Amino acid sequence: MTERVREILSWYGGDNVGTLTNLARLLNTGRLAGTGRLLILPVDQGFEHGPARSFAPNPPAYDPRYHFRLAVENGCSAFAAPLGLLEAGAREYAGDIPLILKLNGHDSLADETDPTQARYGSVADALRLGCVAVGYTIYPGSTRRFEMIEALRDVAREAKDAGLAVVVWSYPRGGALSKEGETAIDVIAYAAHLAAELGAHVIKVKMPTEHIERAEAKKAYLENKVAIGTPAERVRHVVQSAFAGRRIVIFSGGATKPKDADLLVEVQAIVDGGGFGSIIGRNTFQRSEERAKILLDGIAEILAQ
């Protein structure tokens, strides 16, 4: 146990020993063990985008076991996926890597201005599969946000009582936001703070842009001269917004980026801004296995700084 991991665990004084132990497992696994940073492979895109959009670029990825192996062999901190995908490989890879059960999801078969999520997994499923945490998505900005928040309240309470950690995908989306606003700095910072307020141990958000969506927020940013001009400054502000950096905030890889260099620049900004790591799915499993290994190696090297 490194001093950095002990420091991070000390921020979660309201949690029981089981939850702290599972957080420690996350922070002490893989190539980044002990550094206080995380590199997580999430494979929940098939539920929302469909199999061809998700896996056709790299056909071996249709097999759930491919993702387990990719995460294990490349020293990832954890593997996050929906119920059926974890069930398809959890026994074969039992104990090899911490697992995060994604409990809810959204499909893309109907156009929705204000989307919500369907819950298809349970805390009992997570315990049965030996998971260290559950994952849950909310959409700040949707008119249905309150029902998602209230559902998260119940899931988080049950998970914590069972000694599991809670990872929240806080993804602004809905009719109240423009498309540009979904990744605006004020909106992403708000989403990170909201997830912290809702009791998340680990918060997943998208990389923020310099755009400011809300007029009220723009006034506050300008009057207080909040530094948001560079990617690192924006990461720092988002982390600051999650209890002054006392909650683990990790950043998604976002849409597919063909060039490794574009991703590595973002990862460097995460490090420079004091972020806690990267949770990157499509940009790894949609590449060939050889290319994915090269990319994950580069990301891990930067995060280990």
Catalytic residues: 204
- What CA–CA distance (Å, rounded) separates 115 from 173? 8
Which letter does DSSP use for residue 184 in this model? B
For the record, the structure tokens of 177 come out as 């936001």
- What CA–CA distance (Å, rounded) separates 95 from 210? 41
Q: Which residue has the tokens 């996050």?
A: 80
- What CA–CA distance (Å, rounded) separates 133 from 7? 20
Using CA atoms, how far residue 23 sits from 20, 90, 158, 173, 229, in Å, is 5, 19, 16, 28, 33
- 121 closest CA partner among 110, 108, 131, 111: 131
Beta strands in the chain (DSSP E): 38-42, 78-81, 99-102, 104-105, 118-119, 133-138, 165-170, 202-205, 248-252, 277-279
Q: Which residue has the tokens 């849950």?
A: 136
